[in-house]
Structure 1
Amino acid sequence: MTWRARAAAAAFGVAAIGATGLVPAFAADPVGSIGNDLTKVTILNINDFHGRIGGSTGLNFACAVQQAKAAAGAGNYTFLSAGDNIGATPFVSSAQEDNPTIDFLNALELESTAVGNHEFDRGFSDLTGRVTERSDFSQLGANVYKRGTTTPALPEYYLTDVNGVKVAVIGAVTDETPTLVSPIGVSMIDFGDPVAAVNRVAAQIADKADIIIAQYHEGATEGEPPSSLADELARGGVFERIVKETSNEVDAIFTGHTHKQYAWSGPTAQGTRPIIQSGSYAENLGVVELGVDPVTKTVKQYTHTNVKIADHNGACDADPAYVAARQIAESAQAYADEVGKKPIGKISADITTAFGVDDDGSSKRDDRLRESTLGNLTAQIWLEAMNTPGRPGADIGIMNPGGLRDELLYKASGDEGDGVVTYAEAAAIHPFANTMQTIDITGAQVKTLLEQQWQPAESSRPFLKLGLSDNVRYTYNPDASAGERITGVWVDGKPIDAAATYTVASGSFLIAGGDNFTVLQEGKNLRDSGLIDTDAFMNYFLKNDVVAPSFEKNGVAVTGIDLPLKAAAGQAVKLTVSGVDLTSLGSPSNTQFTVHVGDVKVGTAVITPEHIDGVPTRDGTSTVTFTVPANAASGATVITLKAEPSGTVVKLLATISAGSGKGPVIETDIPAEDTTLVGPVLTLALMLSAAGLLLWRRHGAQH
């Protein structure tokens, strides 16, 4: 609506609500279909496309877009995006720096997009140079500013005319972007509050447009099902602010980044407005229809839905835009096939990210709260790559879960044969082309690094599980306070030395503090190897005959005791271990622990496949009970639990004190420091002893 119409509507709306408690008559309402007396404006929207142009996915998507345009009618629609069109893409696109994806979206006449964090993967200069120059669509970032200023560094909005209605589109990106890309590549810009930026621009352009649309590359943490708008608002954070604080000048809100699917009606001072996100990877097309009063230019009605992309079955073969997009995709696929079909190694079984449960109950890859065979293998590869001759050397390898963009599957994807890994398959897992780096941190900072897996309060994900090289193990208490969750860390089989220096190896993104692992920014002696992560990954397969997945966990939860454990010889100990099982494809369910105190086996404990919701979620739980040997030597020792069949080893530091030498330890509910009951209890014990002696004497006399 125009500025004057908006101002009048807002003023009238407040008065009407105050007087009657009712929503004013001009408020926008969700409907089944737009009334014939209103001007229809159709918005077609995508988010988190991530270069899905290859195969049937790309062709079905292209046809769905063209069919939606035809249904709306020429001149009655605009085609937009909420960001992450490029970056983290399959090999068909990444093999040519995502140029095919840009060309594909150009062919489908994408008009404008909010920038996503992945648009910055190759740095700000690449976005404003190569990407912008190649794109026929505008790249919007209202909350992106030149460093240290409030001067916009990107276009803030886009204006277009749809069915005679002036439409403005404002774009904003998550302010977490500096933690999600290499900080060096965005060192010349700042990322401000996205909601404040949208509101600022909306106020500035209200007299230039009849309708304002906000494109946020930020969104709800869960979709529907199982979540709801009320659930997401109750969670708080940035999505609550998007819903509640985005200016009433904005008529529709499109979101992205979290890869969720929902179509909700969010409250405004004047009624409601659509708030929508369409999943990711070209699986849906978001469609919002706005019914606009032809006189006042106010939005009176709206529909909003996510249209599932279906097989096109040749329906678009005569459509010129579809044909152009298909030719681009086919050319890109031919190039990728030729480059990528070269075999580089073999695997003995699936090596994958962690799998969880999607909103609809189906299995879903890339559960970043969980440890994975692929994440741990990658961290091990980074460690070994930095320890080859001519490289800087390292003690620990780490890998961020969001950098794993595909799976290593044993079943052949083409004619290469089962178990064969090709160049394309390896490149699809690590498409970011980060350089391999090392940095020195202390043992205390290693512990902080593991603590930072629990993300800041307003992060899109509450936990990000680091992949770790196979020489690292740790225990944690998920119920402890922030900063106190990590209860033990072991490197090369020994407890970590808080004061010692450890050299950590990873890609430049993580070493620079990406994904909120900011303690790495405090490190010293940063060294860049010049080796690209994709090349390091491929080199590992080239020099190993067959690579097998390891199902050993590096991090498990231990609760029920304080660590390091203090126990007496002969004392019974009870603790709970959870999170023993991986969820990567092919991972076994562990069945039992073998327990040792020092070198002495003291028993076994059953492991059940129990699932625990929490941060992080966990599978595989055991209640472990054992007795410290009565003849155990006093002093420091190690309690070792080895899980079968995965081989996971859990080590717990313990200090053993001498036992009483008078039999087993008797547990009572009397606190050790409470002496008020000692006298009465001792008196009772003496009385019982005397009574027992008297009965014994009488019993003896009767015989």
Structure 2
Amino acid sequence: MGACTNTENCMTTPQSRWASGLAASALMLGGVTFAAGGSVAHAAPGDSCQDPATVSVFEFNDFHGRIAGAAGLFTPVEAARAALGPDNVLLVSTGDNIGGSTFESFIDDDNPTIDIMKAAGVEAIAAGNHEFDKGFTDLSERVIPRMGVPHLSANVYTKGTTTVAAPLEEYKVFEKGGVRIAYVGAVTGDLPSLVSPAGISAIEAGDPVDAVNRVADKIVAENAADIIIAGFHEGAPDPTRTPAENAALSPAFKEIYEGLSPAFDVVFNGHTHQIYDWETTLAKPLMQAGQYAEHLSKVDLKINTQTKELCSSVTSIVDAAAGADIGTQPRIEEIKTIAAAAKANADVLGAVPVGFANQAISTPGDGGSGTRNVESPMSNAVAQMFKEQLQTADNADSFIGVQNPGGTRASFDRGTVTYKEAAGVLPFANSLMTTQLTGKQVKMMLEQQWQLNKDGEVPSRPYLALGLSDNVSYTFDESRARLDRITSISIDGAPIEMDKLYTLGSGSFLIAGGDNFFAFNDGVNMRDSGRVDLEAWVDWVGAGDALSPDYSKRGVSAPTIPGSLTEGAAPVEYVFGKPLANGVQVDTLDMLLNATGANVSPQVMNANITAYIGDEMVGMGEVTAGVGTVQVALAKGTAVEAGNNVVDFVVEESGTVISVPVTVKLLPPVTTPPARPVDVYTTPGYHKVNGREWITSCEKYSITERCRTYIYGTDVQSINGQIVKRNGWLFNNLTYKPSPRSAWKNNPLGYAGSWTSTEGRKWMTECDNARTGRNACRSYIETKVVESIKQADGTFRYAMATKFVFNNIVQFKK
């Protein structure tokens, strides 16, 4: 098991050691995985043999029903079988072949994938968590018998025992190249949180590394095999980092990287959908082949024919064949036939239109399911569906829809949404269920987005961003201690009540506490709606108007949240979002989608943030690079009532509403009127004058101080020939505070006349008349505006016109 110990036949040469080191260092430069097609030599203590036998071991992982790519994936395997002979090729998987599948496989209960695995001659599978999606009974009584391929899970036991749950097996031994090769399998220890707990109630999962090490000891003690390979449905989270850095990020990967028995000769990974060709700390090959029928891990084992021991190995990541390179061998032809029949069946069932999308509605990243640490229009849409499909008149004011991001598997492009596209979003056939949590338990649910498994360890994906219905708003501070990062929660614009019961609706997976959201285990009054998610989803997609992406975020980073506002006091600063960093959470106000494509929602970047208490605007600010800063103040004479209030921060263009509790303190009533009216143009702050609302801010200018004023009103614009009205804060003018007239002698804003700027804009200035008053000038700029024209029948029409529009006021000292 491992090193070749016969010194006569296993001689170490400086050249082979040097070559191995060069390949490894060149391909790992900077911690970045090499491109598919490269190779790395791994030497045993004796790394050369006389007349060695070669056995090629192929591994794939996370196939997820990608039957369209199956012929290409298995073509390199069939080519090796033809060249070396079937007895010198071993084909294994590290799981997740079914579940999370494309429509062609999903619509037929993944039977096409099961049949393709059998046709391809897969010899053993280290079961993944998705093999258990429909419960252990489905795996044991349907999947395994139909496929006829051993499924290995050395760490899955009959509940209450240490006996591997049949028909699962610990390992399988294969005769290849005249030696016995054992393949030992284990599923991620997070299995209980990744599938519906109800479906695996008869089994339990133990530590995967402890399990495979136990099996390795047994194989060695019984001399049951010559070479031992481990297959883990678990892996590293970030291939752009070194293995050691990944070990620091993921305790589960750390165990694999550092804790394996030296009896293992090769280690395959899965689950995290990454590509890498590394070594363990014991210098054993450590590989993962990506996802979705795109790549294979390949290890060419050089075996001493006399001692039956491993001399050396060469590892590589092999691309699936594409196009004309796909083979014509009998197995490949059978795979093509199965895939074609499945597609024909799915085309008929999936072509039915069920709705329409005005724009693409997507998950993050490329529109698939790999990015789960940020909110997305699609996951929030699914959560909204749960709310609208499951709420009743009795709980409508306290209902929350919630979706785990891993349950949202695909996106819609713009245009007609077919049944196939709808099914691709929710492929797991979860039952729709409700449960009730207290406000305190809802807070814990949100805290558990920063993941810990049942053993208190951080899993491979350390943060999962829940999708939530649009009546939920919360803030968080990631710098705070774990389980104390949620700083405010509002439901329907009101602060959450910690002792009140709220009804939550989702799929059965999450309601059962899946994905480590253990807060659901404390719920009461759990109810099964009797509906399946796909049926409810199709109904929702087809109901009402066409769908559009909702860019409003439910959770927003807020490092500090001031708790009180005082009438007439200096403004209080609120900051939401923080710049992008290398942490696990993306904290900007912009819902970053990070990709382009037909099925990716167009990126929307925010620009403004406005604060309201009730109907009163109390602050306005800008959003820069996803960070919104706003000064909030209560003007003297505010209509806001004293006591507990909520500040609603409205973010444009996304429509995000951040509802934050605040205590308002008012000044004693003023009994004497001010000496003179407030000059809204030169007094900073929020003002109400003659029924209009104004906001003014002032800044230094080269000649004097100038103040920028906005007025709340209706803006009418012509966009692509359509008249669009928008209520909001509109720029009104710049006012320059009094300064000597002589200071403006060279600036046309300070004397009457007409002029053209260097950019070609036309201006007009008037001074000292009835409109300006003495000792002042007003400037106007020529621009296109939309005019409202009254017609003979009393109705109005709109027309474009070029006019001079008021822009500046310059005041002079008397």
Band of TM-score, shorter chain: 0.7 to 0.9
- Aligned CA distance change for structure 1 residues 565 and 219 (closer, same or farther; 3 Å): farther
Q: CA offsets per residue over residues 555-596 of structure 1, 9 Å max, x none? A: 11111345x446564133123211211134213101111123
Q: CA offsets per residue over residues 633-653 of structure 1, 9 Å max, x none? A: 542222221111111111211
Q: Distance in 2 between matches of 1:649 and 1:389?
A: 25
- Aligned CA distance change for structure 1 residues 504 and 170 (closer, same or farther; 3 Å): same
Q: Which one of the candidate residues 375, 380, 383 is aligned to 1:376?
A: 380
- Cross-structure match for 1:572: 571
Contact 2:397 2:492 in 1 (8 A): no
**1:30, CA displacement in angstroms?**
8.0
**1:365, CA displacement in angstroms?**
5.5
Contact 2:619 2:630 in 1 (8 A): no
The RMSD of aligned alpha carbons is 2.8
**1:67, CA displacement in angstroms?**
2.6
Q: Distance in 1 between matches of 2:49 and 2:352?
A: 58
- Aligned CA distance change for structure 1 residues 64 and 7 (closer, same or farther; 3 Å): closer
- Cross-structure match for 2:437: 441
Q: CA offsets per residue over residues 281-330 of structure 1, 9 Å max, x none? A: 1111110112222233332211112112241405512x101000000000
**1:79, CA displacement in angstroms?**
0.2
Q: Distance in 1 between matches of 2:319 and 2:508?
A: 37
Q: Which one of the candidate residues 154, 164, 184 is aligned to 1:152?
A: 164
Q: Which one of the candidate residues 650, 659, 664 is aligned to 2:658?
A: 650
- Cross-structure match for 2:244: 230
- Cross-structure match for 1:12: none
Q: CA offsets per residue over residues 451-501 of structure 1, 9 Å max, x none? A: 111101421111111111111111111111112111111111211111111
Q: Which one of the candidate residues 64, 74, 82 is aligned to 1:50?
A: 64
The question of 1:215 aligning with 2:201 is answered no
- Cross-structure match for 2:14: none
- Cross-structure match for 2:706: none
Q: Which one of the candidate residues 427, 444, 448 is aligned to 2:423?
A: 427
- Counterpart of 2:516, as a letter, is N
Q: Which one of the candidate residues 297, 312, 320 is aligned to 1:309?
A: 320
**How many correspondences in the alignment?**
613
Q: Which one of the candidate residues 124, 128, 144 is aligned to 1:132?
A: 144
Contact 2:437 2:524 in 1 (8 A): yes
Q: Which one of the candidate residues 279, 282, 300 is aligned to 1:289?
A: 300
**Greater relative contact order, per chain length (Cα 8 Å cut-off, separation 6+):** 1
- Cross-structure match for 2:550: 550
Contact 2:507 2:533 in 1 (8 A): yes
- 1:323-362 pair list within 5 angstroms: 323-355=333-365
The question of 1:166 aligning with 2:180 is answered yes
Where structure 1 has 5 or more consecutive residues not aligned to the other structure, the ranges are: 10-22, 357-362, 411-418, 610-619, 665-703
- Counterpart of 1:344, as a letter, is V
Q: CA offsets per residue over residues 28-52 of structure 1, 9 Å max, x none? A: 6289x98663222211000000010
- Counterpart of 2:331, as a letter, is A
- Cross-structure match for 1:624: 630
Contact 1:392 1:438 in 2 (8 A): no
Contact 2:80 2:89 in 1 (8 A): no
The question of 1:29 aligning with 2:39 is answered no
- Counterpart of 2:495, as a letter, is P
- Counterpart of 1:508, as a letter, is S
- Cross-structure match for 1:696: none
Name the one with the larger strand percent: 2
**1:391, CA displacement in angstroms?**
11
- Aligned CA distance change for structure 1 residues 575 and 196 (closer, same or farther; 3 Å): same
**1:630, CA displacement in angstroms?**
4.0
Q: CA offsets per residue over residues 621-674 of structure 1, 9 Å max, x none? A: 12323334344554222222111111111121111335699999xxxxxxxxxx
- Cross-structure match for 1:102: 114
**1:519, CA displacement in angstroms?**
0.7
- Cross-structure match for 1:681: none
- Shifted more, 181-190 versus 233-242: the winner is 233-242
Contact 1:39 1:293 in 2 (8 A): yes
- Counterpart of 2:302, as a letter, is G
- 1:533-682 pair list within 5 angstroms: 533-562=533-562, 564-565=563-564, 569-578=568-577, 579-584=588-593, 585-609=601-625, 620-632=626-638, 634-658=642-666
- Cross-structure match for 2:103: 91
**1:60, CA displacement in angstroms?**
2.0
The question of 1:507 aligning with 2:519 is answered no
- Cross-structure match for 1:119: 131
Where structure 2 has 5 or more consecutive residues not aligned to the other structure, the ranges are: 8-20, 22-40, 578-587, 594-600, 675-682, 684-814
- Aligned CA distance change for structure 1 residues 389 and 558 (closer, same or farther; 3 Å): closer
**1:210, CA displacement in angstroms?**
0.3
Contact 2:648 2:660 in 1 (8 A): yes
Q: Distance in 2 between matches of 1:473 and 1:288?
A: 50
- Cross-structure match for 1:687: none
Contact 2:398 2:491 in 1 (8 A): no
Q: Distance in 1 between matches of 2:519 and 2:317?
A: 40
- Aligned CA distance change for structure 1 residues 643 and 486 (closer, same or farther; 3 Å): same
Q: Distance in 2 between matches of 1:661 and 1:119?
A: 70
- Aligned CA distance change for structure 1 residues 389 and 655 (closer, same or farther; 3 Å): closer
- Counterpart of 1:385, as a letter, is Q
- Cross-structure match for 1:453: 449
Contact 1:383 1:394 in 2 (8 A): no
- 1:517-528 pair list within 5 angstroms: 517-528=517-528
- Cross-structure match for 2:203: 189
Q: CA offsets per residue over residues 582-620 of structure 1, 9 Å max, x none? A: 1342131011111234543234211122xxxxxxxxxx1
Q: What SS class does the counterpart of residue 540 from structure 2 fall into?
A: helix
Q: Distance in 2 between matches of 1:7 and 1:386?
A: 67
Q: Distance in 1 between matches of 2:473 and 2:659?
A: 8
- Shifted more, 446-455 versus 538-547: the winner is 538-547
Q: Distance in 1 between matches of 2:552 and 2:572?
A: 25
Q: Which one of the candidate residues 287, 307, 313 is aligned to 1:276?
A: 287
Q: What SS class does the counterpart of residue 607 from structure 1 fall into?
A: strand
Q: CA offsets per residue over residues 410-456 of structure 1, 9 Å max, x none? A: 1xxxxxxxx11111111111111111011111111111111111101
Q: What SS class does the counterpart of residue 213 from structure 1 fall into?
A: strand
- Aligned CA distance change for structure 1 residues 380 and 84 (closer, same or farther; 3 Å): same
Larger Rg: 2
Q: Distance in 2 between matches of 1:34 and 1:130?
A: 46
Q: CA offsets per residue over residues 318-354 of structure 1, 9 Å max, x none? A: x101000000000010010111111111111111101
- Counterpart of 1:112, as a letter, is A
Identity %: 39
**1:240, CA displacement in angstroms?**
1.0
Q: What SS class does the counterpart of residue 515 from structure 1 fall into?
A: helix
**1:205, CA displacement in angstroms?**
1.3
- Counterpart of 2:405, as a letter, is P
